């Protein structure tokens, strides 16, 4: 009886683990190569270890740049907090969400001198 109880417990644990792993929300994304964008910082959304800045380039195209301490440390680039209106250059891999927004995972970050 104890063996049967143990088998049931293991089966429930495995099913629970499997179902948790397969029901995560998935966003269809289209990824591409690295991109460098220079533009003006618009809205800023704070995150856990950085922020996402909407950057508008000279052609009025908006990119969402994820500027993270962890990503910049991995690429040996320096993290800096920029504010709305600052002009910056970001480089990193890109991806698009279902709405067509282009995201850049920033690996290099530079301020453009005025």
- pTM assigned to the model: 0.71
Q: Which DSSP string do the residues of 65-84 spell out, in sequence order?
A: EEEEHHHHHHTT-------T
**What distance in Å separates the CA atoms of residue 52 and residue 46, rounded to the nearest whole number?**
6
Residue in 92, 84, 94 with CA at minimum distance from that of residue 55:
84
Residue in 25, 29, 24 with CA at minimum distance from that of residue 98:
29
Q: How many CB atoms are closer than 10 A to CB 30?
A: 11
Residue 22 pLDDT? 47
What would the pLDDT profile of 34-92 be if each residue is shown by its tens digit? 999 999 999 999 999 999 999 999 999 999 999 999 999 998 899 999 999 999 999 99
* Domains defined for the chain, CATH in brackets: 34-111 (2.40.50.140)
Q: Which DSSP string do the residues of 14-33 spell out, in sequence order?
A: HHHHHHHHHSS-----EEEE
Residue 33 pLDDT? 86
């Amino acid at each position: 009886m104890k063996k049967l109880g143990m088998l049931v417990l293991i089966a429930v644990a495995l099913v629970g683990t499997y179902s948790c792993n397969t029901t995560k929300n998935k966003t269809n994304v289209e990824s591409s190569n690295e991109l460098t964008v220079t533009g003006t910082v618009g809205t800023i959304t704070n995150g856990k270890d950085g922020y996402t800045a909407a950057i508008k380039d000279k052609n009025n195209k908006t990119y969402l740049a994820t500027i993270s301490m962890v990503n910049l440390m991995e690429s040996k680039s320096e993290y800096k907090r920029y504010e709305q209106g600052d002009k910056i250059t970001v480089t990193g891999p890109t991806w698009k969400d279902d709405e067509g927004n282009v995201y850049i995972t920033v690996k290099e970050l530079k301020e453009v001198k005025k």
